[in-house]
A and B are shown apart, each in its own frame.
Chain A
Amino acid sequence: MTSYDIVIVGGGPAGLAAAVAAKKAGTDSILIIERDKELGGILNQCIHNGFGLHTFKEELTGPEYAYRFIQQVYDLGIEYKLDTMVMDIAEDKTVTAMNRTDGMFQIKAGAVILAMGCRERPRGALNIPGYRPAGIYSAGTAQRLVNMEGYMPGREVVILGSGDIGLIMARRMTFEGAIVKVVAELMPFSGGLKRNIVQCLDDYGIPLKLSHTVVDIEGKERVSAVTIAEVGPDMKPIPGTEERYTCDTPATHCCSPQD
């Protein structure tokens, strides 16, 4: 069995930074395992700017920022495997992984670093009622479709959740000619950066409705309308506050760590 001092699961910013730091600290035997076909992780779809202000003292886009780390991985000769999925990590730190060319293989790791990022919670996990037509996306999936695949999921958009990805997608979809009708936020405050609220919503006249959630999704084949309502301090919708928006793409956004 091949062995490495450190096996890093995930070639996104965290995994890359960990690999570079470990290498600089004197560990030579490092392997990064990345499931996607390129390094960089979620940053590759974050094509907006604003990255790197703290670390590099300049304003970079997601892919540019990721490339700073990827370049270091190349320069330091750190090994990585792309298109490779970790299937199992045993208690003795045997990592089982798989890809098209190597098949299923095992690696003995001295240490394993988990840097898999997060997974968005789907609409069902948020108990949003209604039909289940096409056109409902998590903000991350919508971002991938628009920024990496080059396809628009819809023209009229309602976004639930005002975290940074929700806000940035509101602007991104607007740039692409979509009409973002509203951004609803369950909490009485937005989880996103102030600058994103200003630059992504206010600048484009997109309303942000705090203490609001989606209470119904209509449409049998594609989404046709979404109803939002104000919630009380108990987070439950207040009857009589419903507002219905016709749309063809609602996006939800909520992240949870991967396991």
Chain B
Amino acid sequence: METYRPLFVLKWKGDESVLYDVIIIGAGVTGSAVARELSRYKLNVCVLEKEEDVCCGTSKANSAIVHAGFDAAEGSLMARFNVRGNEMMGDLAKDLDIPFKRNGAMVVCIHESEKDGLKDLYNRGIANGVKELKILNREECLEIEPNLSDKVVAALYAPTSGIICPFMLNIAMAENANVNGVEFFFNTKVEKLTPDTCKKCGQPIWKIRTNNGEYKTRYVINAAGVYADYFHNMVSEKKIHITPRRGDYCLLDKTVGNHVSHTIFPQPTKLGKGVLVSPTIHGNLIVGPTAVDIENKEGNNTTAAGIADLIAKAGDHVRNLPIRQVITSFAGLRAHEDHHEFILGEVEDAPHFIDCAGIESPGLTSSPAIGEYIGQMMKEKLGAEEKEDWVGTRKGILNPADLSIEERNELIKKNPAYGRIICRCESVTEGEIIDAIHRPLGARSLDGVKRRTRAGMGRCQAGFCSPRTMEIINRELGLPLTEITKSGGDSKLVIERTKGVEA
């Protein structure tokens, strides 16, 4: 058996005597994008995350679309960061070795009377700086997307819209930040923020109490997703309010992944962009989301009504939608701020507390741009110098499917683990899973492995590979099987030995 040595040993807890320059609350896509940008500078930065891994909240359950930017209101931060994020995504995906494809989006109009709405959207897109927008007539629509509804009368076509793996984007940015010196502390829930003054320099600092020690920092960045209002309101009199807006999704099997090749939207409404149908970057078909405002910030359960609503709406713009091919459904929570706008910047009555709040769609697309903006802001505020040895690129987990048979055999000879398939639905090898566990900020749970390698994301939804993956985590991390979780906390997969089996 090969032996593996972890490259980076994870620290579980910060050093209480350290005064950090910046502490980021939340290791979702926004927090990780900010962390990566801050890792360019000679700053002492850490990220506090209440879950056991990065990408555990809004970032893990969304449409995975890199929006073009025509939907956000003209002059809004959403529009600005969406367009900039979309522009940045191509190079970023290359640098971080993650899959990304500009498959183009179509906003489909099925009522002659609503065609004006398309024109408005087109004009808004142009004003926002979206390139290559076009309005297509019925024939042009059906030519590039034959499975559109027969009722289609026209569509707004946005070739710059793309599809991405949201897990990979989040994970890659966090990994890259970590390699460049940003520390991540998981299972660390911020409980209290107290303003203080630095005894040496007289500047404002923040004391952060968590369930995992106390931290001190010059600046706090609030990237807490649906909880961003909670932290903001803890330090400011100017209250904000974030509603978890639940969206149910259905993910369809890869056999129908090419039912459409573009991302198909209905015309947007007040509640959002509507139920889309899109191929995913990995070749599935995604249908969703619904939009239901709820109270519970952890309420990411699907409901029968939600799924029924989704199925009813999804057929409006795409014909013969093969909804029976669903392999899983899930729900995500948008961090909807009352004014439907990003809140970015230092809070007026809370010096050195910086909000990245209300980051709902187009938040995933905007994340690199938000990172860039906050990075620049912190550089100026802290007078930070750039590191000479910053490495902005990262090599992803090797996907043997990209190799020729000869290369693959070479690899298996060197490391036989690449010859053993663990997840049969997605053809994931043991080698990839071992890499996922031992790389920086590596996986420690079944979901952690899943989001990094796709093991368990296929049509059997981990029925076959769960016991095998558990075995590998057990061996590589020395965790007893009864301690291995689906997603951290108490989400244990097995609870005890069967009778008469020696432990």
With beta carbons under 8 angstroms apart, the residue of B300, B419, B493, B494 that contacts A131 is: B300
Q: Bound state CA distance, A119 and B491, in angstroms?
A: 25
Say yes or no: is A101 at the interface (Cβ < 8 Å to chain B). yes
Residues of chain A at the chain B interface (Cβ within 8 Å): 35, 83, 85, 87, 96, 98-104, 106, 119-120, 122-125, 127, 129-135, 137-138, 140-141, 144-146, 148-155, 175-177, 215-218, 220-222, 237, 248
With beta carbons under 8 angstroms apart, the residue of A101, A119, A124 that contacts B326 is: A124
Say yes or no: is B459 at the interface (Cβ < 8 Å to chain A). yes
Say yes or no: is B427 at the interface (Cβ < 8 Å to chain A). yes
CB pair A151 B497 closer than 8 Å: yes
Say yes or no: is B12 at the interface (Cβ < 8 Å to chain A). no
CB pair A145 B491 closer than 8 Å: no
Say yes or no: is B182 at the interface (Cβ < 8 Å to chain A). no
CB pair B328 A124 closer than 8 Å: yes
CB pair B463 A138 closer than 8 Å: yes
Task: Kindly list chain A residues whose C-beta atoms are within 8 Å of the C-beta of B492.
Answer: 134, 222
Task: Kindly list chain B residues whose C-beta atoms are within 8 Å of the C-beta of A35.
Answer: 421, 424
Say yes or no: is B8 at the interface (Cβ < 8 Å to chain A). no
CB pair B328 A125 closer than 8 Å: yes
Residues of chain B at the chain A interface (Cβ within 8 Å): 250-251, 298, 300-304, 306-307, 326-330, 405, 408-409, 412-413, 416-417, 419-421, 424, 427, 459-464, 466-467, 481-482, 485-499, 501
What residue in chain B is nearest A96 (Cβ atoms)?
B405
Q: Which of B421, B491, B498 has the most CB of A within 10 A?
A: B498
What residue in chain A is nearest B325 (Cβ atoms)?
A125
CB pair B419 A103 closer than 8 Å: yes
Task: Kindly list chain B residues whose C-beta atoms are within 8 Å of the C-beta of A146.
Answer: 498
Q: List 23 A-B contacts (CB under 8 A).
A: A96-B405, A100-B412, A100-B417, A100-B419, A104-B419, A122-B459, A124-B327, A125-B459, A127-B304, A129-B304, A129-B306, A130-B302, A134-B487, A141-B464, A145-B494, A149-B481, A151-B481, A151-B498, A152-B494, A216-B301, A218-B301, A221-B486, A221-B490
CB pair A129 B329 closer than 8 Å: yes
Q: Bound state CA distance, A153 and B466, in angstroms?
A: 12
CB pair B490 A222 closer than 8 Å: yes
CB pair A124 B416 closer than 8 Å: no
Task: Kindly list chain B residues whose C-beta atoms are within 8 Å of the C-beta of A141.
Answer: 463-464, 466-467
Q: Bound state CA distance, A221 and B409, in angstroms?
A: 40
Q: Bound state CA distance, A154 and B326, in angstroms?
A: 27
